Amino acid sequence: MSSAAATTPPGTAWTLVFIAWLVAAAATLGALFFGEVMQLPICAMCWYQRIFMFPLALLLPLGLFPFDRRMPRYGLALAIPGALLAVFHQLIVAGVIPESLKPCSQGVPCSQTVAAWFGFLTIPLLSLAAFSSIVALLLAAHARSRT
Amino acid sequence: MKQKTLFGLAVACLLGAFILAVLIHNVEPDADAGALSPELQAALQRPHAPSLGPADAPVTIVEFLDPACETCAAFYPIVKQILAGEPQRLRLVLRYAPFHKGSDQVVAALEAARRQDRFWPALEALLATQRIWVHNHAAQPDRIWPVLERAGVDLARLRTDMAAPEIARVIEQDLLDIQTLQVRKTPEFFVNGKPLPSFGEEPLRELVAETLRHARR
Protein backbone atom coordinates (compact mmCIF):
# COMPACT_ATOMS: atom_id res chain seq x y z
CA MET A 1 0.00 0.00 0.00
CA SER A 2 2.79 2.42 0.84
CA SER A 3 4.26 2.14 -2.65
CA ALA A 4 0.85 2.78 -4.16
CA ALA A 5 0.47 5.89 -1.99
CA ALA A 6 3.75 7.26 -3.36
CA THR A 7 2.59 7.00 -6.99
CA THR A 8 -0.99 8.21 -6.55
CA PRO A 9 -0.91 12.01 -6.40
CA PRO A 10 -2.14 13.21 -3.01
CA GLY A 11 -4.84 15.65 -4.11
CA THR A 12 -4.50 18.58 -1.72
CA ALA A 13 -0.69 18.75 -1.65
CA TRP A 14 -0.59 18.55 -5.44
CA THR A 15 -3.11 21.38 -5.75
CA LEU A 16 -1.14 23.56 -3.31
CA VAL A 17 2.12 23.10 -5.25
CA PHE A 18 0.21 23.71 -8.48
CA ILE A 19 -1.17 27.03 -7.17
CA ALA A 20 2.32 27.98 -5.95
CA TRP A 21 3.57 27.33 -9.48
CA LEU A 22 0.74 29.46 -10.92
CA VAL A 23 1.87 32.36 -8.72
CA ALA A 24 5.54 31.87 -9.66
CA ALA A 25 4.76 31.65 -13.39
CA ALA A 26 2.55 34.74 -13.26
CA ALA A 27 5.23 36.64 -11.32
CA THR A 28 7.91 35.58 -13.82
CA LEU A 29 5.89 36.66 -16.84
CA GLY A 30 4.88 39.85 -15.01
CA ALA A 31 8.50 40.74 -14.23
CA LEU A 32 9.45 40.10 -17.86
CA PHE A 33 6.56 42.28 -18.99
CA PHE A 34 7.56 45.21 -16.74
CA GLY A 35 11.20 44.98 -17.72
CA GLU A 36 11.23 43.97 -21.36
CA VAL A 37 7.92 45.27 -22.71
CA MET A 38 7.15 48.31 -20.56
CA GLN A 39 10.91 48.96 -20.30
CA LEU A 40 10.71 50.01 -16.65
CA PRO A 41 14.16 50.39 -15.11
CA ILE A 42 15.27 47.30 -13.16
CA CYS A 43 17.06 47.92 -9.89
CA ALA A 44 19.56 45.51 -8.33
CA MET A 45 17.11 44.24 -5.70
CA CYS A 46 14.70 43.26 -8.47
CA TRP A 47 17.42 41.21 -10.15
CA TYR A 48 18.14 39.34 -6.91
CA GLN A 49 14.46 38.57 -6.45
CA ARG A 50 14.24 37.42 -10.07
CA ILE A 51 17.08 34.98 -9.38
CA PHE A 52 14.83 33.23 -6.84
CA MET A 53 11.52 33.58 -8.68
CA PHE A 54 12.34 32.46 -12.23
CA PRO A 55 13.68 29.00 -11.22
CA LEU A 56 10.50 28.35 -9.21
CA ALA A 57 8.40 28.74 -12.35
CA LEU A 58 10.55 26.16 -14.14
CA LEU A 59 11.23 23.70 -11.30
CA LEU A 60 7.86 23.39 -9.54
CA PRO A 61 6.21 21.59 -12.53
CA LEU A 62 8.91 18.90 -12.29
CA GLY A 63 7.55 18.08 -8.84
CA LEU A 64 3.99 17.95 -10.15
CA PHE A 65 4.52 15.28 -12.86
CA PRO A 66 4.88 12.80 -11.27
CA PHE A 67 4.04 14.28 -7.89
CA ASP A 68 7.15 14.52 -5.71
CA ARG A 69 6.42 14.77 -2.00
CA ARG A 70 9.75 16.50 -1.50
CA MET A 71 9.03 19.27 -3.99
CA PRO A 72 7.81 21.75 -1.33
CA ARG A 73 11.20 21.38 0.38
CA TYR A 74 13.09 22.17 -2.81
CA GLY A 75 10.75 25.01 -3.64
CA LEU A 76 11.11 26.54 -0.18
CA ALA A 77 14.89 26.66 -0.65
CA LEU A 78 14.23 29.31 -3.31
CA ALA A 79 11.01 30.88 -2.01
CA ILE A 80 12.24 31.71 1.51
CA PRO A 81 15.39 33.62 0.46
CA GLY A 82 13.26 35.37 -2.17
CA ALA A 83 10.70 36.37 0.44
CA LEU A 84 13.47 37.69 2.73
CA LEU A 85 14.86 39.78 -0.15
CA ALA A 86 11.36 41.11 -0.84
CA VAL A 87 11.02 42.13 2.83
CA PHE A 88 14.46 43.77 2.66
CA HIS A 89 13.35 45.63 -0.47
CA GLN A 90 10.22 46.88 1.31
CA LEU A 91 12.40 48.19 4.13
CA ILE A 92 14.54 50.09 1.60
CA VAL A 93 11.43 51.58 -0.01
CA ALA A 94 10.05 52.54 3.42
CA GLY A 95 13.38 54.18 4.29
CA VAL A 96 13.96 51.93 7.31
CA ILE A 97 17.27 50.75 5.83
CA PRO A 98 19.59 53.76 5.60
CA GLU A 99 20.86 55.09 2.27
CA SER A 100 24.40 53.78 2.68
CA LEU A 101 23.21 50.17 2.81
CA LYS A 102 21.42 50.40 -0.52
CA PRO A 103 22.99 47.80 -2.81
CA CYS A 104 22.05 49.74 -5.92
CA SER A 105 23.68 51.91 -8.52
CA GLN A 106 22.94 55.59 -8.75
CA GLY A 107 21.20 54.98 -12.06
CA VAL A 108 18.21 53.15 -10.64
CA PRO A 109 17.82 53.49 -6.89
CA CYS A 110 15.75 50.65 -5.38
CA SER A 111 13.92 53.14 -3.18
CA GLN A 112 12.49 54.87 -6.24
CA THR A 113 8.93 53.96 -7.14
CA VAL A 114 8.65 53.46 -10.90
CA ALA A 115 5.05 52.27 -10.96
CA ALA A 116 2.13 52.25 -8.53
CA TRP A 117 -1.40 51.05 -9.13
CA PHE A 118 -4.40 52.12 -7.03
CA GLY A 119 -2.00 54.34 -5.10
CA PHE A 120 -0.32 51.56 -3.11
CA LEU A 121 0.37 48.55 -5.33
CA THR A 122 4.05 48.83 -6.29
CA ILE A 123 6.24 46.24 -8.01
CA PRO A 124 8.23 45.43 -4.82
CA LEU A 125 4.92 44.90 -3.01
CA LEU A 126 3.75 42.53 -5.76
CA SER A 127 7.00 40.61 -5.36
CA LEU A 128 6.53 40.37 -1.59
CA ALA A 129 2.94 39.16 -2.06
CA ALA A 130 4.03 36.53 -4.59
CA PHE A 131 6.94 35.22 -2.52
CA SER A 132 5.01 35.09 0.74
CA SER A 133 2.04 33.31 -0.83
CA ILE A 134 4.41 30.78 -2.44
CA VAL A 135 6.09 30.18 0.92
CA ALA A 136 2.68 29.72 2.62
CA LEU A 137 1.42 27.35 -0.10
CA LEU A 138 4.59 25.25 -0.09
CA LEU A 139 4.63 25.07 3.72
CA ALA A 140 1.02 23.86 3.67
CA ALA A 141 1.87 21.31 0.95
CA HIS A 142 4.89 20.19 2.94
CA ALA A 143 2.78 19.63 6.07
CA ARG A 144 0.23 17.62 4.09
CA SER A 145 2.63 15.45 2.15
CA ARG A 146 4.62 14.38 5.23
CA THR A 147 2.03 11.94 6.52
CA MET B 1 -4.73 12.77 -16.96
CA LYS B 2 -6.87 15.50 -15.49
CA GLN B 3 -3.97 17.16 -13.68
CA LYS B 4 -1.92 17.28 -16.85
CA THR B 5 -4.82 18.88 -18.72
CA LEU B 6 -5.18 21.46 -15.95
CA PHE B 7 -1.47 22.23 -16.08
CA GLY B 8 -1.45 22.49 -19.86
CA LEU B 9 -4.47 24.77 -19.76
CA ALA B 10 -2.77 26.99 -17.16
CA VAL B 11 0.39 27.25 -19.29
CA ALA B 12 -1.70 28.16 -22.33
CA CYS B 13 -3.69 30.77 -20.36
CA LEU B 14 -0.58 32.40 -18.88
CA LEU B 15 1.27 32.56 -22.19
CA GLY B 16 -1.88 33.75 -23.96
CA ALA B 17 -2.38 36.52 -21.39
CA PHE B 18 1.29 37.53 -21.74
CA ILE B 19 1.15 37.70 -25.53
CA LEU B 20 -2.14 39.60 -25.41
CA ALA B 21 -0.66 42.09 -22.93
CA VAL B 22 2.37 42.60 -25.20
CA LEU B 23 0.12 43.19 -28.21
CA ILE B 24 -2.10 45.66 -26.32
CA HIS B 25 0.93 47.47 -24.94
CA ASN B 26 2.44 47.84 -28.40
CA VAL B 27 -0.79 49.18 -29.89
CA GLU B 28 -1.17 51.91 -27.24
CA PRO B 29 0.29 55.20 -28.44
CA ASP B 30 3.68 55.78 -26.91
CA ALA B 31 3.55 58.72 -24.50
CA ASP B 32 7.23 59.36 -25.22
CA ALA B 33 6.61 60.01 -28.89
CA GLY B 34 5.44 63.62 -28.46
CA ALA B 35 7.36 66.68 -27.38
CA LEU B 36 7.84 67.46 -23.71
CA SER B 37 5.46 69.72 -21.80
CA PRO B 38 6.57 73.36 -21.33
CA GLU B 39 7.61 72.90 -17.70
CA LEU B 40 9.79 69.94 -18.69
CA GLN B 41 11.29 71.99 -21.55
CA ALA B 42 12.61 74.39 -18.93
CA ALA B 43 14.50 71.55 -17.27
CA LEU B 44 15.96 70.50 -20.60
CA GLN B 45 18.08 73.56 -21.27
CA ARG B 46 19.88 75.61 -18.67
CA PRO B 47 21.98 78.65 -19.49
CA HIS B 48 24.99 77.08 -17.74
CA ALA B 49 25.13 74.05 -20.04
CA PRO B 50 28.06 73.85 -22.47
CA SER B 51 27.03 74.06 -26.11
CA LEU B 52 28.40 73.86 -29.63
CA GLY B 53 27.04 75.69 -32.69
CA PRO B 54 25.15 78.94 -33.24
CA ALA B 55 22.94 80.08 -30.34
CA ASP B 56 20.05 80.87 -32.74
CA ALA B 57 20.20 77.53 -34.55
CA PRO B 58 16.69 76.32 -35.45
CA VAL B 59 17.41 72.79 -34.21
CA THR B 60 18.95 72.02 -30.83
CA ILE B 61 20.11 68.57 -29.79
CA VAL B 62 20.27 68.17 -26.01
CA GLU B 63 22.44 65.26 -25.00
CA PHE B 64 22.59 63.86 -21.48
CA LEU B 65 26.09 62.51 -21.22
CA ASP B 66 28.16 60.65 -18.68
CA PRO B 67 31.88 61.02 -19.49
CA ALA B 68 32.43 57.51 -18.07
CA CYS B 69 29.68 55.93 -20.19
CA GLU B 70 30.99 53.73 -23.00
CA THR B 71 27.98 54.23 -25.24
CA CYS B 72 28.36 58.00 -24.85
CA ALA B 73 31.95 57.73 -26.09
CA ALA B 74 30.83 55.55 -28.98
CA PHE B 75 28.09 58.04 -29.88
CA TYR B 76 30.27 61.12 -29.68
CA PRO B 77 31.76 60.81 -33.20
CA ILE B 78 28.26 60.19 -34.58
CA VAL B 79 26.95 63.35 -32.92
CA LYS B 80 29.92 65.34 -34.22
CA GLN B 81 29.27 64.00 -37.71
CA ILE B 82 25.59 64.98 -37.52
CA LEU B 83 26.58 68.49 -36.39
CA ALA B 84 29.13 68.80 -39.19
CA GLY B 85 26.39 68.02 -41.71
CA GLU B 86 24.46 71.22 -40.87
CA PRO B 87 26.87 73.44 -38.91
CA GLN B 88 24.74 76.58 -39.33
CA ARG B 89 21.42 75.08 -38.30
CA LEU B 90 22.36 72.63 -35.55
CA ARG B 91 23.34 73.26 -31.97
CA LEU B 92 24.43 70.73 -29.38
CA VAL B 93 23.75 71.31 -25.68
CA LEU B 94 25.43 68.96 -23.24
CA ARG B 95 23.95 68.09 -19.88
CA TYR B 96 25.70 65.90 -17.35
CA ALA B 97 24.29 62.60 -16.18
CA PRO B 98 27.11 61.28 -13.97
CA PHE B 99 25.53 57.90 -13.26
CA HIS B 100 28.81 56.00 -12.98
CA LYS B 101 30.66 55.92 -9.71
CA GLY B 102 33.30 58.65 -9.54
CA SER B 103 31.91 60.29 -12.64
CA ASP B 104 30.85 63.46 -10.78
CA GLN B 105 34.56 64.15 -10.14
CA VAL B 106 35.26 63.85 -13.86
CA VAL B 107 32.37 66.22 -14.60
CA ALA B 108 33.81 68.69 -12.07
CA ALA B 109 37.16 68.44 -13.89
CA LEU B 110 35.42 69.14 -17.21
CA GLU B 111 33.69 72.18 -15.78
CA ALA B 112 37.03 73.38 -14.40
CA ALA B 113 38.64 72.82 -17.82
CA ARG B 114 35.83 74.92 -19.27
CA ARG B 115 37.08 77.88 -17.24
CA GLN B 116 40.34 77.55 -19.14
CA ASP B 117 38.47 77.36 -22.44
CA ARG B 118 39.61 73.75 -22.82
CA PHE B 119 36.22 72.08 -22.36
CA TRP B 120 35.81 70.42 -25.77
CA PRO B 121 39.44 69.27 -26.09
CA ALA B 122 39.25 67.89 -22.54
CA LEU B 123 35.96 66.09 -23.20
CA GLU B 124 37.21 64.61 -26.45
CA ALA B 125 40.46 63.45 -24.84
CA LEU B 126 38.58 61.87 -21.94
CA LEU B 127 36.11 60.06 -24.17
CA ALA B 128 38.93 58.77 -26.38
CA THR B 129 40.90 57.44 -23.40
CA GLN B 130 38.04 56.01 -21.38
CA ARG B 131 39.72 52.62 -21.22
CA ILE B 132 42.50 54.15 -19.14
CA TRP B 133 40.39 55.76 -16.47
CA VAL B 134 37.18 53.69 -16.32
CA HIS B 135 37.37 50.29 -14.68
CA ASN B 136 34.40 48.02 -14.04
CA HIS B 137 32.03 50.89 -14.77
CA ALA B 138 33.62 53.08 -12.13
CA ALA B 139 35.54 56.23 -13.03
CA GLN B 140 39.02 56.53 -11.49
CA PRO B 141 39.38 60.31 -11.22
CA ASP B 142 43.08 60.12 -10.31
CA ARG B 143 43.82 58.65 -13.73
CA ILE B 144 42.40 61.55 -15.72
CA TRP B 145 45.13 64.09 -14.89
CA PRO B 146 47.70 63.00 -17.51
CA VAL B 147 44.91 62.85 -20.10
CA LEU B 148 43.80 66.38 -19.26
CA GLU B 149 47.36 67.68 -19.22
CA ARG B 150 47.92 66.36 -22.73
CA ALA B 151 44.69 68.14 -23.76
CA GLY B 152 46.34 71.41 -22.77
CA VAL B 153 44.74 71.89 -19.36
CA ASP B 154 46.61 73.69 -16.58
CA LEU B 155 46.31 71.08 -13.83
CA ALA B 156 47.18 73.30 -10.87
CA ARG B 157 44.46 75.76 -11.81
CA LEU B 158 42.06 72.93 -12.62
CA ARG B 159 42.42 71.37 -9.17
CA THR B 160 41.57 74.62 -7.36
CA ASP B 161 38.69 75.39 -9.74
CA MET B 162 37.19 71.92 -9.31
CA ALA B 163 36.28 72.73 -5.70
CA ALA B 164 34.34 75.86 -6.71
CA PRO B 165 30.81 75.91 -5.32
CA GLU B 166 29.46 77.03 -8.71
CA ILE B 167 30.65 73.75 -10.24
CA ALA B 168 29.00 71.72 -7.48
CA ARG B 169 25.83 73.69 -8.17
CA VAL B 170 25.95 72.89 -11.90
CA ILE B 171 26.18 69.16 -11.15
CA GLU B 172 23.41 69.44 -8.59
CA GLN B 173 21.14 71.22 -11.06
CA ASP B 174 21.81 68.67 -13.79
CA LEU B 175 21.07 65.78 -11.43
CA LEU B 176 17.85 67.53 -10.41
CA ASP B 177 16.80 67.99 -14.06
CA ILE B 178 17.60 64.32 -14.72
CA GLN B 179 15.03 63.43 -12.07
CA THR B 180 12.49 65.83 -13.52
CA LEU B 181 12.98 64.51 -17.05
CA GLN B 182 13.28 60.89 -15.90
CA VAL B 183 16.54 60.36 -17.73
CA ARG B 184 17.72 56.92 -16.68
CA LYS B 185 20.18 55.92 -19.36
CA THR B 186 23.00 57.66 -21.13
CA PRO B 187 23.33 58.97 -23.71
CA GLU B 188 19.81 60.34 -23.89
CA PHE B 189 18.96 62.74 -26.69
CA PHE B 190 16.25 65.34 -27.12
CA VAL B 191 15.89 67.08 -30.47
CA ASN B 192 14.00 70.37 -30.08
CA GLY B 193 12.50 68.95 -26.92
CA LYS B 194 11.49 65.64 -28.46
CA PRO B 195 12.94 62.41 -27.07
CA LEU B 196 14.14 59.69 -29.45
CA PRO B 197 11.31 57.28 -30.38
CA SER B 198 13.76 54.44 -29.76
CA PHE B 199 17.44 54.38 -28.91
CA GLY B 200 20.04 54.09 -31.65
CA GLU B 201 22.11 55.88 -34.26
CA GLU B 202 19.45 55.68 -36.99
CA PRO B 203 16.57 57.01 -34.83
CA LEU B 204 18.80 59.96 -33.84
CA ARG B 205 19.79 60.75 -37.43
CA GLU B 206 16.17 60.43 -38.54
CA LEU B 207 14.77 62.64 -35.78
CA VAL B 208 17.41 65.32 -36.47
CA ALA B 209 16.74 65.18 -40.23
CA GLU B 210 12.99 65.36 -39.69
CA THR B 211 13.26 68.28 -37.26
CA LEU B 212 15.55 70.10 -39.69
CA ARG B 213 12.96 69.64 -42.45
CA HIS B 214 10.21 71.11 -40.29
CA ALA B 215 12.33 73.96 -38.93
CA ARG B 216 12.14 77.29 -40.67
CA ARG B 217 14.60 77.54 -43.52
How high is the ipTM of this complex? 0.73
**CATH class assigned to A2-146:** mainly alpha
Residues 71-110 of A with CB under 8 A from B: 105-108
CA A131 distance to own-chain centroid: 3
Angle at B88 between CA B84 and CA B91, to 5 degrees: 75
Q: What are the boundaries of each domain within chain B?
A: 2-32, 35-214
Query: Which of B63, B95, B89, B58 has the alpha carbon at shortest distance from B76?
Result: B63
Q: What are the boundaries of each domain within chain A?
A: 2-146
Q: Is B35-214 in CATH node 3.40.30.10?
A: yes
Residues of A in contact with B21 (CB under 8 A): 33, 37
CA distances from A87 to A126, B147, B216 (A): 11, 46, 56
Q: Which of A7, A14, A22, A114 to mutate against chain B (most B CBs within 10 Å)?
A: A22
pLDDT tens digits, one per residue of B145-200: 999 999 999 999 999 999 999 999 999 999 999 888 888 788 889 999 888 888 88
Output the tens digit of pLDDT for each of chain A's 147 residues: 444 444 445 688 999 999 999 999 999 999 999 888 887 778 888 899 999 999 999 999 999 999 999 999 999 999 999 999 999 988 888 777 764 444 444 445 566 666 667 666 788 899 999 999 999 999 999 998 776
B17–A37 C-beta distance less than 8 A: no
Burial pattern A45-81, b for ≥16 Cβ within 10 A else e, equals bbebbbebbbbbbebbbebbeebbbebbebbbebbbe
Residue A53: HSE in the Cβ half-sphere, 13 Å Cα cutoff: 30
Q: Across the interface, which of A29, A41, A108 has its CB nearest the CB of B14? A: A29
- Measure B7 CA to nearest chain A CA, in Å: 8
